[in-house]
Chains A and B, each alone.
Chain A
Amino acid sequence: MFNLFERRLAPLDSPSVVIASTLGSIVLALAIGAFLFIPFGTNPLLAYFSLFESSLGSLRGFGMTLNRAAPLILVALGTCVAWRAGFGFLGFEGCMTIGAAAAAWFALVGVSEDGQGILLPALLFWPAMLAVAFAAGGIWAGSVGVLRTRYGGNEVLISLMMNYVAIFLVQYLVSGPMRASGSLPQTDRFPTESWLATIIPGTRAHAGILIAVGAAFLVWLLISRMRVGFELVVTGLSPLAARYSGIDVGRRYLLAAVGAGGLGALAGLVEVLGTQHRLMDGLSGGLGFIGIVVALLAKLNPLLIVPVALLYAALSVGADALQRSTGVPSSIIFILQSLIVLFVMASDFIRYWRPRLPRFGAAIVQEER
């Protein structure tokens, strides 16, 4: 057999190569995905056109894309904080659920007597709301951090399993103590003052995207401009080296866990106050895992996360619209998204390896032997 590839002496990591390989893999994934439309008698080009037209081509679609992107950005940022520090946290579904529950509790507990408004003035309400949700998620994920640093537990397994604990906890809350009387397992609707405000008139775009973009900026500040962030990254690159240079590795893990959990909880807050306006089961809907994928696609770079999440959100908004207009099953789009993820992940390969054209003379000699 030939060795078709050989390792490059130095990986190609100029921005233009990264962008070209990423775009190339997206186009390749779309090209392969085009075959999926054929059995349904749909023209793939028209389908792709209407996919992006419906999610980015109209103000309404763009608003929905922003809404879909906001929780993805927040979960991806959480992934960035945790994974950069070498803390393999996978519990974002749980954090979202807990954050949503905390936000729901805070939105409902502060309702005035007549059930219409909220007691706190808006200027106090929103910081307090964000703090409550962040703290709830931080404590939830922080407990995983404690188990890891104190007792050496495996954070991947524990955080994954704690997702179920959180989901069942919220199932219990909405079918028991927080259930609206005589209705589905869900809470009462929150007072309108506690909904995230619409930011683009005539669309459903809510302020969640502002929270997400603000958080992206803060995480970028933390990771690339602050000492604590530097220590986090060093811890992630080599815990031993970090400890040798005097960094309290355990404390950094804990910080990463709390930060990731808090960001995940904010994603839950955005969903519950922006979209559902009431707490119910199944609220995270897999976003806690898709967010991790987004972070990986963005190579754990907090600023890249925003455009990647927007692209991902546009794909899923477009998928829904496509499903409505053509009746093509939305699972096709899921396959398409998976293809894009796989191809973008795999595209790193050509940055590290280069094709080695077989020299025919040598090959023939080998075969004769």
Chain B
Amino acid sequence: MDNLSRMTLNRRLMLKGAGAGLGLALCPSQILAANTARIALIMGGTISDGGWNQLAFEGLGDLKAEGFDTAYVENVTQARIQEVAQGYADDGYDLLIGHSYAFGSAFLEIAPDYPDQNFFVTTFAPDEQMLPNLQFVDFAYEGAAYAAGALAALISDNRKAVGFVGGGDNPTQQAMNRAFVAGAETAVPGIKGLGVVTGDYNNAAKGKEAALTMIGNGADVIWHAADVTGLGAIQGAASAGAKVLGCYANQTSLAPDRMATSFVTNLRWMVREVSHSVADKAFKGGTEWRPTIKEVWVPSYGETEPLQDFNPALVSEEAKAAFAAVVEEVSTGQIDINQFK
């Protein structure tokens, strides 16, 4: 332990020296505005995935416009997370945002080495331990998946089956799969909830294959939570004539006629919120932030402003009302979402 702290000290001292030298050499006139911070966004996918990563990146763009010093890196594989995150932490960033479940365990391991810097992972808190400089967020994924399952079942025409295409094989996606199935089967008794967790966020071909398999098994509504894999699922499902639901971003343009709605996550808002909390020295490390499902998930449809909430051609007024009731049940806690975790 003694060794470790000495090591950190050395590293930081050296960094200060190197940083000061580099600062003098490269940007003598850079002055940071008040109440800003240095934010690094580390992503497992690309910023042009039309969803999960793109939305967070837009939040980072807002911060940059506000005068924050921002940096980002894309396509960080699981095996490289630690190295990349240490790189940013060594460079002295005030907040490192690890933008997926995979960053949780790596950040838990490295955050103690950087007690003066903050870490945020866009996933739920682990059971084992919390650190004073590491915050998690409960995105109410299971609640959203439950509601999406209900909506899918409500707009199903053949009332036989509806399907979910998942991304990386991790507990969040598995729980979303379970919640989706339960939501569908509760909303419309007799309907079958199907789900495939493909194990990959970035493989459109896999997503298409998963969607088509479930359509072959009777599904006529497909939802996904799988970034690029999900893009394939939407395209495959729409071309096979099924209805589709988008996720993370407004994905209407992918299949305007077959898209019922997109469950848009307010990641842009979240990145801004957490970064401002760091800038204002109000970062709530050691906790799990719990916004409500209505705050984080916004059903959106349409390619031009003003956006609608649903595609009127595919979602009837009754389905809308029944869906709203389910959302209400989830946010008031009448349905225990934790059972799917």
Interface residues of A (CB under 8 A from B): 46, 50, 53, 58-60, 64, 175, 182-186, 189, 198, 201-204, 275-276, 280-283, 285, 320-321, 323-325, 327, 330
> In the complex, which residues 124-154 of chain B have their Cβ closer than 8 Å to any Cβ of chain A?
127
A185 contacts B79, CB within 8 Å? Answer: no
Closest-CB distance, B102 to chain A (whole angstroms): 6
B90 contacts A186, CB within 8 Å? Answer: no
Tell yes or no: B337 within 8 A of A by CB: no
- A-chain residues with CB within 8 Å of residue B105 when the two chains form the complex: 183-184, 186
Closest-CB distance, B240 to chain A (whole angstroms): 29
Tell yes or no: B303 within 8 A of A by CB: no
- A-chain residues with CB within 8 Å of residue B40 when the two chains form the complex: 324
> In the complex, which residues 68-90 of chain B have their Cβ closer than 8 Å to any Cβ of chain A?
71-73, 77-80, 82-84, 86-88, 90
A320 contacts B77, CB within 8 Å? Answer: no
Docked CA distance A282–B73 (Å): 18
Docked CA distance A186–B18 (Å): 35
Tell yes or no: B217 within 8 A of A by CB: no
Docked CA distance A73–B72 (Å): 30
Closest-CB distance, A346 to chain B (whole angstroms): 30
> In the complex, which residues 98-138 of chain B have their Cβ closer than 8 Å to any Cβ of chain A?
101-102, 105, 109, 127
- A-chain residues with CB within 8 Å of residue B307 when the two chains form the complex: none
Docked CA distance A46–B22 (Å): 11
A182 contacts B14, CB within 8 Å? Answer: no
A281 contacts B78, CB within 8 Å? Answer: yes
- B-chain residues with CB within 8 Å of residue A323 when the two chains form the complex: 73
Would you give 15 A-B contacts (Cβ < 8 Å), ordered by A?
A58-B14, A60-B18, A182-B171, A184-B101, A184-B102, A184-B105, A185-B169, A276-B82, A280-B79, A282-B78, A320-B87, A323-B73, A325-B71, A325-B91, A327-B72
- A-chain residues with CB within 8 Å of residue B102 when the two chains form the complex: 184
Tell yes or no: B11 within 8 A of A by CB: yes
Known contacts A58-B18, A201-B7; A186 and B171 CB within 8 A of each other? no
- A-chain residues with CB within 8 Å of residue B292 when the two chains form the complex: none
Tell yes or no: B26 within 8 A of A by CB: yes
Tell yes or no: B10 within 8 A of A by CB: yes
Interface residues of B (CB under 8 A from A): 6-7, 10-11, 14-15, 18, 22, 26, 40, 71-73, 77-80, 82-84, 86-88, 90-91, 101-102, 105, 109, 127, 169-171, 199
A321 contacts B87, CB within 8 Å? Answer: yes
B78 contacts A202, CB within 8 Å? Answer: no
Q: Which 9 interchain pairs have the tightest Cβ spacing? A: A202-B10, A282-B77, A282-B79, A283-B79, A58-B18, A280-B78, A280-B79, A324-B71, A202-B11
- B-chain residues with CB within 8 Å of residue A282 when the two chains form the complex: 77-79
- A-chain residues with CB within 8 Å of residue B87 when the two chains form the complex: 320-321, 324
A60 contacts B15, CB within 8 Å? Answer: yes
Query: Considering residues B40, B101, B169, which has the most beta carbons from chain A within 10 angstroms of its beta carbon?
Result: B169
Known contacts A282-B78, A285-B80; A59 and B26 CB within 8 A of each other? no
A285 contacts B26, CB within 8 Å? Answer: no
- B-chain residues with CB within 8 Å of residue A64 when the two chains form the complex: 83
Given A184-B170, A285-B79, 6 more contacts at CB 8 Å? A185-B169, A201-B6, A282-B78, A320-B84, A324-B88, A327-B72
By beta carbon, the residue of chain B nearest A59 is B14
- A-chain residues with CB within 8 Å of residue B84 when the two chains form the complex: 320
By beta carbon, the residue of chain A nearest B11 is A202
Closest-CB distance, A104 to chain B (whole angstroms): 13
Docked CA distance A105–B83 (Å): 23
Docked CA distance A231–B12 (Å): 52
B10 contacts A50, CB within 8 Å? Answer: no
By beta carbon, the residue of chain A nearest B101 is A184
B11 contacts A60, CB within 8 Å? Answer: yes
- A-chain residues with CB within 8 Å of residue B88 when the two chains form the complex: 324
By beta carbon, the residue of chain A nearest B7 is A202
Closest-CB distance, B341 to chain A (whole angstroms): 10
Closest-CB distance, B69 to chain A (whole angstroms): 11
Docked CA distance A310–B26 (Å): 26
B83 contacts A275, CB within 8 Å? Answer: yes
A60 contacts B14, CB within 8 Å? Answer: yes
Closest-CB distance, B174 to chain A (whole angstroms): 10
B18 contacts A281, CB within 8 Å? Answer: no
- B-chain residues with CB within 8 Å of residue A275 when the two chains form the complex: 82-83
Contact of A186 among B73, B78, B86 (CB under 8 A): B78
B79 contacts A276, CB within 8 Å? Answer: yes
